[in-house]
Amino acid sequence: MNALDNLDTSIALPAETWCLIFEFATFVPGIFCTADGPAVVAFTHDRYNHCSSRRVRQSMNLKLVIGRVCSNWRSLVTHLLFECISIKNGRQALQLAELLRDTYPKSNFLDANAKTWWTKRIELVIDGVVLWTTEHTNAIIEVLQHCPNLVCFSTAFSSSDPYLIYTPSLILALTKPGMKTKIKRLELKATTALFYAIAMELKSSLEVVWVLPSRRAPQKIALEKQELPKLHTFISGIQDGPCFDLPALQILVSCDTIERTSHIVRSGGTLQYLNMIDFGSSIPYLTLCPNLRTLLLGVHEITRLRSNNFLELSHLHIHTLIIECTNMFRLSLTGAGSDFVHRYLPALLSGFFLNVNFPALKRIRFIFSEPDPITRLEPPPLTMLSSWRKWFEECHLQGISIEVSYDIEQLTSDLWVPLTLDLVQEHL
């Protein structure tokens, strides 16, 4: 039978089914999430926008190809073309604003037939060497006015100084009364004061925040403590950030030990995911997190603590432990080499993760950075992998699965695969 014989039947599928197929085929991991906190955390590992920009570009190319197949498909896929708007320079902002102005008059920008009715994310990826003027900022404001269903606003991948972009008018545009929905996800490269100002305007709707430091020198500013009542995912890369009350906080990733401890003390009862790379100083605070389910640790901390301190780290309800092994960790092993990694480290892990410490533990996950020529250790002989093999067997007997994400593609997609001896030998 010719494969084309069934063509009419396939095209006769309901429009809703084709829309679901197109959405699945053009899906970009983590880019629109507001409810899936772990997917957002995975997305933020792409600090330099390598994976996200490529995936968005590939997704757009596929959408354009789908639209060329037939008129029916073109009408169904059109709303996906403007899901994510990425602006890289002022010229693009002016062109887009002019297009929307000519196509959809301002008095009619809430028309459901407008392409930007479907826009869920706007990201400014402005290069620091690009000329940026007030005219360009006004163009961004005009684009925002044509996106009533905007959910996510991002400048996290912009290298320019945020003060060249943000104005009181732009901040007001993010909260304009005409928006059908309010922004739930905010990704900013900003100073503490600027982040605070924008967060306060969006405090009633924010659910996810990812904030990165700007290139400006930080300034000590006294800021009044405020509450973000709906925020459940907070990912912060700034030091001395503003202090918020987060009564709904579930996921916390912070590079500031003081800020992290403060949030644990105030919101520990709701926390379910905690990044605690330098956990040695935070062990006592785990008791304040009775609902914690996922804990991320740095492998360097595990190797630094002595075994008699391991018993202090315990939790009744944690079911997932994530251990991050960075290239910097490999570099620190210049003298110890493979002997440490493949003999001593598994022994430490074997003594650390006991049922008495973590009775609910179901999985241990490793994050392996991609090896580079500087930090790459010599591959160990198979005889040195016996410690890993023994540890794998112990975990299997306890019903604990061992998983790994061993490159940036997997990590930013929140994708985990079973850890094998071959992967240990190749990536650690």
User: Given phi > 0 = left and psi -120 to 50 = alpha, else beta, which region is 27?
Assistant: beta
For residues 316-330, one letter each, b for 16 or more C-beta atoms within 10 angstroms of the residue's C-beta and e for the rest, the string is eebbbbbbbbbeebb
Does residue 177 carry a pLDDT above 80?
Answer: no
Q: Domain map of the chain by residue range?
A: 30-253, 276-428
Residue 254, both tokens:
């912070």
Return the number of other C-beta atoms located less than 10 Å from residue 379's C-beta.
12
Do 158 and 48 meet the contact criterion of CB atoms below 8 Å apart? no
Give the global pTM.
Answer: 0.89
**Could you report the per-residue pLDDT of 16-27, keeping only the tens digit for each?**
899 999 999 999
Residue 9: band (very low, low, confident or very high) from pLDDT cuts 50, 70, 90: very low
Do 150 and 181 meet the contact criterion of CB atoms below 8 Å apart? yes
For 30-253, which CATH class?
A: alpha beta
**Could you report the per-residue pLDDT of 53-105, keeping only the tens digit for each?**
999 999 999 999 999 998 889 988 988 999 999 999 999 999 999 988 887 76
**Could you report the per-residue pLDDT of 245-266, keeping only the tens digit for each?**
999 999 999 988 888 888 999 9
User: Region 387-414: what's the mean pLDDT?
Assistant: 90
Q: What is the pLDDT of residue 334?
A: 46
Q: What is the pLDDT of residue 164?
A: 66
**Could you report the per-residue pLDDT of 35-47, keeping only the tens digit for each?**
999 999 999 999 8
Q: What is the pLDDT of residue 35?
A: 94
* Contact partners, residue 205, CB within 8 Å, separation at least 6: 182, 183, 184, 230
State which of 94-98, 368-372, 379-383 shows the largest mean pLDDT: 94-98
